[in-house]
Amino acid sequence: MSAYTPIRAPRGNVRTAQGWIQEAAKRMLMNNLDSEVAEKPEELIVYGGRGKAARNWEAYHTLVQTLDRLKNHETMLVQSGKAVAVLETHPLAPRVLIANSNLVPHWANWDEFDKLDRAGLMMYGQMTAGSWIYIGTQGILQGTYETFLGAAQKYFNGSLKGTITVTAGLGGMGGAQPLAVKLAGGVSICIEVDESRIQRRIATRYLDEVASSLEDAIARATVARKEGRAVSIGLLGNAAAILPQIVRSGFVPDVVTDQTSAHDPLYGYWPIAKEDEDLTAQRSREPERYLERVRADIALHVQAILELQRRGAICFDYGNNLRAQAKIAGVNDAFDYPGFVPAFIRDSFCEGRGPFRWVALSGDPADIAATDAALLKLFPDDARLNQWLPWAGEHVAYQGLPARICWLGYRERDKAGLLFNQMVRDGRLKAPIVIGRDHLDAGSVASPYRETEAMLDGSDAVSDWALLNFATGIASGAGWMSFHHGGGVGMGYSQHAGLVAVADGSEEADQRLRLCLTNDPAMGVIRHADAGYEKAHRIAAERGLDRPGVQS
Ligand code: NAD
Tell me the pLDDT band of 132, cut-offs 50, 70 and 90.
Answer: very high
pTM: 0.92
170 alpha carbon – ligand 1 mean position (Å): 7
Burial letters for 57-83: b for 16+ Cβ neighbours within 10 Å, e otherwise?
A: bebbebbbebbeebebebbbebbbbbb
Q: Which amino acid is at 485?
A: H
Q: Taken in order 161, 163, 169, 170, is the CA torsion positive or negative?
A: positive
Q: How confident is the model at residue 2, as a pLDDT?
A: 55
Best residue among 148, 238, 261, 444 to mutate for probing ligand 1's pocket (most ligand atoms within 8 Å of CB) is 261
- Nearest-CA neighbor of 293 among 309, 277, 315? 277
Burial letters for 101-137: b for 16+ Cβ neighbours within 10 Å, e otherwise?
A: bebeeeebebebbbebbeeeebbbbbbbbbbbbbbbb
Instruction: Give the dihedral of Cα atoms 401, 405, 409, 414; nearest 10 deg.
Output: -20
Ligand 1 atom index nearest CA of 127: 43
Tell me the pLDDT band of 163, cut-offs 50, 70 and 90.
Answer: very high
Could you give the CA distance from residue 522 to residue 101 in angstroms, rounded to a whole number? 26
Q: How confident is the model at residue 304, as a pLDDT?
A: 98
446 alpha carbon – ligand 1 mean position (Å): 20
Tens of pLDDT, residues 192-244: 999 999 999 999 889 999 999 999 999 999 999 999 999 999 999 999 999 99
Assess whether pLDDT exceeds 50 at residue 1: no
Question: Residue 495, SS3?
Answer: strand
Could you give the CA distance from residue 14 to residue 43 in angstroms, rounded to a whole number? 29
Ligand 1 atom index nearest CA of 238: 19
Spatial CB neighbours of 346, under 8 Å, sequence gap ≥ 6: 528, 533
525 alpha carbon – ligand 1 mean position (Å): 29
Q: How confident is the model at residue 387, as a pLDDT?
A: 87
CA angle 47, 319, 269 (to 5 degrees): 55
Ligand 1 atom index nearest CA of 269: 15
- Nearest-CA neighbor of 234 among 203, 272, 255? 203
Cβ neighbours, 10 Å, residue 185: 19
Q: Which protein residue has the closest C-alpha to ligand 1 atom 4? A: 171
> How high does pLDDT run on average in the chain?
97
- Nearest-CA neighbor of 181 among 165, 192, 193? 165
320 alpha carbon – ligand 1 mean position (Å): 7
Q: Give the residue numbers marked as catalytic.
A: 406
Classify residue 357 by burial, with Cβ atoms within 10 Å: 0-12, 13-18, 19+: buried
The ipTM of this complex is 0.98
Tens of pLDDT, residues 465-514: 999 999 999 999 999 999 999 999 999 999 999 999 999 999 999 999 99
495 alpha carbon – ligand 1 mean position (Å): 19
Cβ neighbours, 10 Å, residue 353: 24
Tell me the backbone φ, ψ of residue 277, rounded to 5 degrees. -85, 140
Spatial CB neighbours of 342, under 8 Å, sequence gap ≥ 6: 453, 454
Protein residues whose CB sits closer than 6 Å to any atom of ligand 1: 39, 47-49, 140, 143, 168-174, 191-194, 197, 238-240, 259-263, 268-270, 318-320, 340, 440, 488
Assess whether pLDDT exceeds 60 at residue 134: yes
Could you give the CA distance from residue 213 to residue 211 in angstroms, rounded to a whole number? 6
Could you give the CA distance from residue 108 to residue 130 in angstroms, rounded to a whole number? 18
Could you give the CA distance from residue 478 to residue 403 in angstroms, rounded to a whole number? 19
Q: How confident is the model at residue 530, as a pLDDT?
A: 98
Strand partners, 79: 82, 99
Q: How confident is the model at residue 552, as a pLDDT?
A: 81
Could you give the CA distance from residue 182 to residue 231 in angstroms, rounded to a whole number? 6
Tell me the backbone φ, ψ of residue 257, rounded to 5 degrees. -150, -165
Cβ neighbours, 10 Å, residue 364: 17
Best residue among 145, 170, 259, 267 to mutate for probing ligand 1's pocket (most ligand atoms within 8 Å of CB) is 259
Could you give the CA distance from residue 467 to residue 495 in angstroms, rounded to a whole number? 8
259 alpha carbon – ligand 1 mean position (Å): 4
Q: Which protein residue has the closest C-alpha to ligand 1 atom 35? A: 320
237 alpha carbon – ligand 1 mean position (Å): 14
Ligand 1 atom index nearest CA of 340: 41
Q: For 530-538, what is the mean pLDDT?
A: 98
Q: How confident is the model at residue 3, as a pLDDT?
A: 64
Ligand 1 atom index nearest CA of 320: 32
CB 100 within 8 Å of CB 55: no
Best residue among 320, 325, 445, 450 to mutate for probing ligand 1's pocket (most ligand atoms within 8 Å of CB) is 320
Tens of pLDDT, residues 293-351: 999 999 999 999 999 999 999 999 999 999 999 999 999 999 999 999 999 999 999 99
Cβ neighbours, 10 Å, residue 526: 25
